[in-house]
Amino acid sequence: EINVTGADVVVHTAEREVSLTNLKVSSSKAGDSRERTRRYAFDYCFNSSDLLDDNYASQEKIYETLGESVLDSIFTGYNSCLVAYGQSASGKTYTMMGTK
């Protein structure tokens, strides 16, 4: 990916993985123990930062992927938990609760 925002870290979201590339860490600096790119795996990864992206995750897509099965489990008597994690004001509450 190309860093066009001036940020020091480039974030790439894939189906089950998020990778963070720290542009301040040289990829060829000998003796530097820091990793330039770190990858994190999850059951699901959603990207809602770009409406034009083919993998854009709308509220409906997230509900269809996760919400329906969680609600089905709750209604059949199972305990369930769904966690939304992210930066402040990034839309976690809106994704979980909507506008009502």
Does 86 belong to an annotated binding site? yes
13 is in an annotated binding site: no
Q: Is residue 28 part of a domain?
A: yes
Do residues 70 and 94 share a domain?
yes
81-90: burial string, b at 16+ Cβ within 10 Å, e else? eeeeeeeeee
DSSP run (H or E) holding 41: strand 37-41
22 in a domain, yes or no? yes
Judge whether 5 is annotated as a binding position: no
Do 73 and 35 lie in one domain? The reply is no
pLDDT digits over 58-92, tens only?
888 888 998 899 899 999 999 988 888 788 888 88
Q: Exposure pattern of 36-50 as b/e (b: 16+ CB <10 Å)?
A: eeeeeeeeebbebee
Are both 62 and 33 inside the same structural domain?
A: no
The number of domains in the chain is 2
Same domain, 9 and 39: yes
91 marked as part of a ligand binding site: yes
Whether residue 61 is found in the same domain as residue 99: yes
| pLDDT at residue 7 greater than cutoff 80 | no
Let me know: does 17 contact 46? Beta carbons within 8 Å. Answer: no
Those residues whose C-beta lies under 8 Å from the C-beta of residue 11, and which sit 6 or more positions away, are: 18, 19, 20
Q: Is 87 annotated as a binding residue?
A: yes
pLDDT digits (tens, 9 = 90+) for 21-48: 888 877 666 666 677 888 999 888 888 8
Domain annotation covers residue 52:
no
Q: What is the pTM of this model?
A: 0.58
Comparing C-alpha atoms, which of 2, 45, 40 is closest to residue 23? 2
Q: Which pLDDT does position 48 carry in this prediction? A: 80
Q: Which domain holds residue 88?
A: 57-100
Shared domain for 40 and 63, answered yes or no, is no
Q: Is 73 annotated as a binding residue?
A: no
